[in-house]
Amino acid sequence: MAKKKNKKFSSFLDNPIDYTLLITVLLLLTLGLIMVLSASSPTSLSESGGTSSYRYFAKQAIFAALGLCAMGIISKIDYRFYKKFYKIAYFVSFILLLAVLVVGREVNGATRWIYITDTFSFQPSELVKFCMIIFFAGILTRDREELKYFVKGWLKHLLWLAPIIVLVMLEPHMSASVVIIGIVGIMMVIAGCKMWQMIIPGLAIGVPALIGLIIIAPYRLSRVTTFLDPWSDAKGEGWQVIQSLYAIGSRRIIWSRSWAK
């Protein structure tokens, strides 16, 4: 019995490492931390009364380290293990998205975060992205033979997605909705749906829906127009785009003087 357990533990540790993926993650993580340090150091210095520039960077670095540990553990789990929980993943997604609408805190007109304490919070829509991958991987594997049909394939499976997207848009969180729809669409094509089943109905539904969302909330269109002409609102919506252009034009990383000395 002990030998059997040791064999399982050994196979757990002997799973090969995807070094290309690991190096990519580390590079992106390092770049992200540098950007956080560059962007947050003046604010941190001001809030700390001039004693520390690293408050937000340190917090981000701690979560980065925890994320790497979690990644290492999860990478050793056989992906087929998650299939057992694909129905639970959908249920959890639904409950989390309902919960954020009920007990979430509104910030800048959107209710996207659930605060456990004043300093610890999480965004349910980010967890829902992973849950939708697990759910649709399970259901598309189960119904693979049906995917070649329009009603039993495309329509039936998108009806599973519709309540999730509605709840995410009620926050509202349009970018998360677009990401989730994109992920599920790609998964359905890979699983066996015809490309036309995704493109033609997608355009027929997506374009009117997008127009409707812009009419309801015109700021969504202003974000696009501001990106195309950031100088039209240089001190408002266009501020970040203009600063990024300055950084690219200077051909160097712009460090904050408050901590670069």
pLDDT tens figures, 75-105 = 888 888 888 999 999 999 999 999 999 998 8
Q: Is there a single domain that holds both residue 117 and residue 236? A: no
Determine which of 12-16, 129-133, 182-186, 215-219 has the lowest per-residue pLDDT on average.
12-16
| C-alpha span between 166 and 209 (Å, rounded) | 12
Q: Is there a single domain that holds both residue 180 and residue 224? A: no
Mention every residue, 6+ apart, whose C-beta is less than 8 A from residue 30: none
Q: Is there a single domain that holds both residue 95 and residue 196? A: yes
Q: pLDDT tier at 252 (50, 70, 90 boundaries)?
A: low
Q: Is there a single domain that holds both residue 113 and residue 235? A: no
Q: Is there a single domain that holds both residue 196 and residue 93? A: yes
Q: Is there a single domain that holds both residue 56 and residue 115? A: no
| C-alpha span between 174 and 46 (Å, rounded) | 33
Q: Is there a single domain that holds both residue 108 and residue 183? A: yes
pLDDT at position 4 is 53
Answer whether residue 61 shows pLDDT above 60.
yes
What total of structural domains would you count in the chain?
3
Look over the chain and give the mean of its residue pLDDT values, rounded to a whole number: 81
Average pLDDT over residues 147-166: 84
Asked which of 77, 94, 123 is the last residue of a domain, the reply is 77
Answer whether residue 237 shows pLDDT above 60.
yes
pLDDT winner (highest mean) among 14-18, 21-25, 234-238, 241-245:
21-25
pLDDT tens digit sequence for 90-143: 999 999 999 999 998 888 778 888 888 877 788 999 999 999 999 999 999 988
Asked which of 22, 54, 77 is the last residue of a domain, the reply is 77
Burial (CB < 10 A; 0-12, 13-18, 19+), residue 147, is buried
Which of helix, strand or coil describes residue 106? strand
Q: Is there a single domain that holds both residue 40 and residue 71? A: yes
Q: Is there a single domain that holds both residue 45 and residue 112? A: no
* Peptide linkage before 201 cis (omega within 30 of 0): no
Q: Is there a single domain that holds both residue 135 and residue 186? A: yes
Asked which of 77, 102, 136 is the last residue of a domain, the reply is 77
Q: Which domain holds residue 159?
A: 81-211
| C-alpha span between 103 and 124 (Å, rounded) | 12
Between these two residues, 147 and 186, which has the higher pLDDT value? 186
Question: Cα angle at 55 between 54 and 58, to 5 degrees?
Answer: 75
Q: Is there a single domain that holds both residue 71 and residue 89? A: no
Q: Is there a single domain that holds both residue 66 and residue 23? A: yes
Q: pLDDT tier at 261 (50, 70, 90 boundaries)?
A: very low
Q: Left if phi > 0, otherwise alpha if psi is -120 to 50, otherwise beta: which for 49?
A: left
